[in-house]
Structure 1
């Protein structure tokens, strides 16, 4: 979860079609990076998967590093970042509901990027990794505040453990083949939200 500016695209898309093409490139890159690894994927392969030439990818990102950064930045700019800002102005229960909803949506809609955040971040420059880790701490902090407000006797470590445990529950369940293949798509998000909320309730009641 880095800063969106860190992706340093060669030129920002200025048309709806250009934005759609960029999104297709990021989706293709995320899938290939997950399947083959960052170093095992070429720009030409990303372009082919997105329906354009390899050199065409460089109209949207400056390098393969920037491509991975753009994939990861989407998690923050379109999901975690807005949720953190929204939660800051909400009562504890509503803040946690907002954070849960966002995390579930990302776990289902951008599952590959969440995996890459763990597996491929090490390949990126130190300054980007530092920003990504800083944003991750901000995200966990957004959970810790409401959790402690609902259970004042808990320690900071306990609240952080609960937050990261909920994240792991959502992330893992969303990628389990039986869950993906056997659970009705219409019920996946509500089910995960319910499970995460149940963990919050258990933490508060402990």
Structure 2
């Protein structure tokens, strides 16, 4: 929930929205550790002090929780990508801005990366299709920026570079533990080199 949305809501609605965010954070933590299929809606509720039946005031099912998590992060990445592209600059600056958006994501949302990687297939068809559509839109921003930077590169090769870099960046939860600043430095250097190789 962004600040404008929060201002437009009543205090009661703001409290409910904050509670939903707490539930989503707890669900991401649990699902990252145990996997979607091993986590029950009751487990998520217990993590935030809500009884099983009380969870239904916020989410209709565990699939609903997963859909909201993965749709939200897909929209945030797409919107961050759009903002990076709209700020403009030369092709290298745009590509570096896109890289910054993704590195921010992987440095701050490791649980969501793990859940998305492992449990996207558990989404019902409708939300899964929407997540995939958002992901494609986001990836194509990278492809366009890379082709502008390296016009000799066919689009199919640029797409392969971009998806390989996503694989590199999204592997961050499985890397040895390191301080966030060091993680950002290492991932940015490696991804930048891969895009330009």
Q: Please, which of 55, 58, 63 is the counterpart of residue 57 of structure 1?
A: 55
Mean Cα deviation higher: 66-75 or 26-35: 26-35
Measured in 2, the distance between the counterparts of 1:62 and 1:95 equals 40
- Per the alignment, residue 66 of structure 2 pairs with 68
The aligned length equals: 184
Q: Is the 8 Å Cα contact of residues 144 and 163 (structure 1) preserved in structure 2?
A: yes
- Per the alignment, residue 79 of structure 2 pairs with 82
Secondary structure, aligned partner of 1:35? helix
- Per the alignment, residue 22 of structure 2 pairs with 24
Measured in 1, the distance between the counterparts of 2:146 and 2:181 equals 29
- Root mean square deviation of aligned Cα: 1.9
Structure 1 gap ranges (5+): 1-12
- Per the alignment, residue 171 of structure 1 pairs with 170
Mean Cα deviation higher: 153-162 or 91-100: 91-100
Structure 2 gap ranges (5+): 1-11
Q: Is the 8 Å Cα contact of residues 107 and 180 (structure 2) preserved in structure 1?
A: no
- Per the alignment, residue 197 of structure 1 pairs with 192
- Per the alignment, residue 129 of structure 1 pairs with 128
Compare the two structures and name the one with the higher helix fraction.
2
Measured in 1, the distance between the counterparts of 2:96 and 2:48 equals 35
Q: Is the 8 Å Cα contact of residues 28 and 46 (structure 1) preserved in structure 2?
A: yes
TM-score by length of 2: 0.84
Secondary structure, aligned partner of 2:38? coil
Q: Is the 8 Å Cα contact of residues 80 and 139 (structure 1) preserved in structure 2?
A: yes
Measured in 2, the distance between the counterparts of 1:104 and 1:76 equals 14
Q: Is the 8 Å Cα contact of residues 86 and 95 (structure 1) preserved in structure 2?
A: no
- Per the alignment, residue 114 of structure 2 pairs with 115
- Per the alignment, residue 187 of structure 1 pairs with 182
Cα gap change, 1:185/1:123 in structure 2, threshold over 3 Å: closer, same or farther? Answer: closer
Secondary structure, aligned partner of 2:196? helix
